[in-house]
Amino acid sequence: NQFITNGRLDMELVLQKFIVHFNDIFGSCDERFLEEEGRKYFLLYLRPIINGTGNYYVEARTRDLCRTDVIVDYNGEQYIIEMKIWRGNEYNNRGESQLAAYLDAYHTKVGYLLSFSFNKNKQAGVQRINVGDKIIIEAVV
């Protein structure tokens, strides 16, 4: 499996490949596309990658009862994923802060933000962002 290295899931690579495949199939979607639909497509993509060794949880609650979008458990590691529709930098910054709070709740340093953008000027791809002492790997579809 190209997404597994030394027993670890390479979630950054999963996101990179998801962007390519999503854009090949759904690149012409418009803003009527809902965040929930994006989550379903991502989970359909992810399931065969983690099947047999991992699992995912949708809207799992933190101790303070906040709901995370997706948590992937794979081979003893957790991957916290927040999903958003791109609605500008300010909204995106709030999503990054929200994810950083989830990372604190789960005592981890790296999280993933998957944004579905319908802004023709927004560049698709993956980048690393530092939010305090956290690293957020943001993928824009």
* Residue 68: predicted pLDDT: 76
Helices 11-26 & 35-50 angle (0-180, nearest 10) = 130
* Residue 33: predicted pLDDT: 63
Q: What is the mean pLDDT of residues 47-68?
A: 80
pLDDT, tens digit, 9 for 90 and up, residues 7-47: 899 999 999 999 898 888 776 666 566 667 888 889 999 99
pLDDT above 90 (res 134): yes
Q: 84-99: b or e for each residue (b if 16 or more CB lie within 10 Å)?
A: bebeeeeebeebbebb
Cβ-contact 69, 59 below 8 angstroms:
yes
Q: Specify the length of the chain in residues.
A: 141
* Residue 23: predicted pLDDT: 81
* Residue 34: predicted pLDDT: 61
Q: Tell me how far apart the alpha carbons of residues 55 and 57 are, in angstroms, rounded to a whole number.
A: 7
pTM above 0.85, yes or no: no
Domains along the chain?
4-140 (3.40.1350)
